[in-house]
Amino acid sequence: MNLDHVFVCGSPPLDFAATLRARRSVRFEMFASPDRLDAWYVESGLVDRIEPCGQDDVEQAIAVREAIYALVTARRLGQEYDTGALRVLNDAARRPPAVPQLTATGRHTEATPEQALSSVARLAVELLAGTDVPLLKECGNPECTRVYIDRSRGTRRQWCGMESCGNKIKAAAYRARKRSAPAAASR
């Protein structure tokens, strides 16, 4: 499986929640090591430099990620929030966040793992309390569990991303039509 982090959900907390891929089947953990968590924080654009994460930071990030996923799922489905997930998210959001600084070359943000995680948690609070909630959708690929913000025209987007899930589903449908076409023609 590809080890690159993917940012197709339209919001850093949703992309963070999507780092456990294929939750209903094969389950692939993108935060398998501290350096993978470091990479996510930088690749996401939340920070420009992060103090190296340790295994405890990975465990805390996974706990917050699972809380975000549970809360987003509950919100999307109109269900009540899990109190444990609320506690985990709010505890992380209470910590000091990463603070951008203006330098001669532009914005630069250095952070500790705790500050970076707090930034993700705060963005999750804003997302779940904000106006984009009605636009939250789960990917139409049955193997994918990414939730994304559908800002497409007419909110008709079906996939978390065309490159990842959309092309796979469309190619599979095309192959299925091709296989069934000769059978239908021979009748």
Count other C-beta atoms under 10 Å from residue 66's C-beta. Answer: 17
Q: What is the pLDDT of residues 19-56, one digit of tens each?
A: 998 888 878 899 999 999 999 999 999 999 999 999 99
Say if CB 136 and CB 75 are below 8 A apart. yes
pLDDT tier for residue 160 given thresholds of 50, 70 and 90: confident
Token digits of residue 90? 């709010």
Please, what is the angle between helix 113-128 and helix 83-94, to 10°?
Answer: 130
CATH architecture for residues 12-185: Orthogonal Bundle (1.10)
- E-state strands within the chain: 20-21, 28-29, 49-50, 101-103, 106-108, 110-111, 136-138, 147-149
The answer to whether the beta carbons of residues 165 and 139 sit under 8 Å apart is yes
Q: Measured between alpha carbons, how far is 187 from 185 in angstroms, rounded to an integer?
A: 6
Tokens representing residue 44 in the block: 């996401």
pLDDT at 101 over 70: yes
Residues 64-73: tens digit of each pLDDT? 999 999 999 9
Over residues 60-81, the mean pLDDT reads 97
**What is the C-alpha separation between 113 and 61, in angstroms, rounded?**
9
Query: How many Å apart are CA 50 and CA 54, to the nearest integer?
Result: 12
| pTM of structure | 0.87
